Structure 1
Amino acid sequence: MTVDHASGVHLYDPDGNEYLDVYNNVPCVGHAHPHVVEAVHAQMQRVNTNTRYLQPGLVDYAERLLATFPDELGHVMFTCSGSEANDLAMRVAHWHTGGTGVIVTANAYHGVTETVATFSPSLGQHVPLGPHVRLIPAPDPLRLGVSGAEFNAVMRASVQAAVDDLQRHGIAVAALITDCAFSSDGVHPDPTGWLAEAATVVREAGGLYIADEVQPGFGRLGDGWWGFMRHGVIPDIVTMGKPMGNGVPIAAAVFQPELLDSFGARIRYFNTFGGNSVSIAAAQAVFDVIEDEHLIANAQAVGRQIMAGLLSVTANDAAVAEVRGSGLFIGVDLVCDRERWTPDAALASEIVNRLRERRVLISASGVDGNILKIRPPMAFRAGDADRLLSEFDAVCTQLRSEGILH
């Protein structure tokens, strides 16, 4: 479809046809939110400049943002994109640890700069991983065949194996970096807890733990502001982007301050557009809306509504291996063989396309593209969820009658 304009959780094509947006996490408070639009417009009329000049708005926003983090995280640096934030985080990790080794999950995505692309396996085989990169399995209990304490032990052992292999090849560990919703791996916000153990392994080897909150952050998971909090771990660095400005480019990296003592004194870093006046105004307005409209609580309530509805609709479908998620970040795992949990990307594509024909937009994720990804703006309300579930039910009924879903 061609997008002409948008409002709230709705997109419109040039002919005025409306589509329900159940995929776009960038405009987290809703497309064209009037408070964000007005804040950007007002700031554009005053001044838009970079952080070489003192600006109270920049300081106010930095303090407001940092107040959402544990006390250990107390320094923020602004960039334009999550890719840049992860690039900066890795530069600091390299400088602080003296290492270059990076550990990521099997189908992770962390950005598109040359450095970050080397540890973003989801970009595909034509973007080769660096020799300094080691992969651990996606945190997928279904396919690992373990749960509870055994799952934690398997994940911890996989991180330890990655550390050992790096060291065996003479590569010192710089960081473990994870997307706390594991979106590209197939949406795995649960189980929680194992990341704390993984971070311990990496720190014992001299590395850092970096929480990539570009996708799960700002309350999308419906349980506090940041995904790492659900795991009971305090990262060394946290990165964020995408929804931060509701589509206006702004991102950031938040650090434990001691990491920047030497880096700040010896390394020249400046980002011309990072933290510019207009982007900060947008970010401040997004923060206002999240708080004023109680969007974190909304993400929790509406997410539970969607999860319950999906489980009800698919209760008798063997092709649905699992419905999982947290808040407004939900995955539906589709398989064609429940004994081996063989991914069914064709079925996922069929459902995505048929929903689009009914003017409901979702997507698919995972290394095999078999995970339906439901990730609407956080302004998604109960009535929107009702419509999604009704259309999803209609598509499933149609597919069952054709013998495609069973």
Structure 2
Amino acid sequence: MSNAPTPAAGHMPKPGSQSALRQRNQRLIIETLRELGALSQAELARATGLSTATISNIVKALSAEGLTTTHPTTSSGRRALAVSLLETPEIAAGIDFGRSHVRVVLASPGLIVKAEKFAPLPVGHLASESIATAAAMLADLLAESGIERGQVKGAGVGVPGPIDHRTGTVIRGAILPEWVGVNIVARLEEALDMPIFADNDANLGALAQVTWGEHKAARDLVFLKIGSGIGAGLILNGAPYYGHTGITGEIGHATIFDQGLVCRCGNRGCLETVASTAVMIELLSRGESETLTVGAIIRHAMAGDSATLRVIDDAGMAVGRAIANVANMINPEIIVVGGPLAALGETLLNPIRRGLIRHAVPAIGEGTTVVMSSLGDRAEALGAISLALSRRGLPQDRR
């Protein structure tokens, strides 16, 4: 008996598979229609580079789903079939679970945010309690915005840790150890009564950069999230990269010091033990009357506090060293840094760049752009919306 997950379980098509190729072609057709308006099937073939047979098959499927309509027209004096993109009332939800928060966002296929809510969660929150909080927030948003539940065609969900996409289960190494072993897809589908598509938060951050951010044209991009944990989301050849089981970009567990501190993953000297916000808080709270917050660290850095700047510089250099190994392997066009320290801007980016240039092949280090994300702390939730839209086949505006 096969134990392969069903599409409703949030299964990610393998790159190069027929289903992945079909999804890419479908998105290409939708984006072309949204940008250029109604086109004949022959014009669509020329604009996309796809064969007329592929265009015909995908248009039939899109029309059956109510996403496109066709009508007779003429092209170069000949009768033809024009294809138009239909505006749809569908809504997608994005849910971002963090170490101490949950954010729920609703948006249209045109990437217009309709409503959103944020709520703090206690550190060490249990999956059952947090899922109940998210479900209540979603219900409140629908009521406040006048959106019917039936309009919500699916929800993308991000968690700060690796997810085995074969099973939809959170595995060891997550910032939320209380969630390890939880089938996040099944639990949320039961609670929300809609299709759920779950992913690691860094992967969703990367997806947000090429759908919501200013890097839509990037073909090879790394999104580096620095927070309580450190992870990297990969866009390779224009598409998210998930590897064999969906566990990629675990850069926070790259070894920086062989004799360093023991990490929560069980290894020693991982990047997270020297560069996460949790480590920065621990170092800078010594001698203080109360534990500092990330906000306090940012304020002290902006005020020029020497100890804070030293800790940030050391962390940035370590991050740059780790990301250099990734850059040497895949040669990305751009590395986008996100997470709660984004407000630091060049104060954090400069040491990351120095570490990258010092440890990468010179041509790669000097040719890779390193910038801060413009999406702030909404990136993961926005990426979750893009995930839900792509998995449900809804048109997504990437202009």
TM-score greater than 0.5 by the shorter chain: no
Answer 1 or 2: higher relative contact order, Cα 8 Å, separation at least 6: 1
**TM-score under structure 2 length normalisation:** 0.28
Structure whose CA Rg is larger? 2
Instruction: With the length of structure 1 as denominator, give the TM-score of the two structures.
Output: 0.28
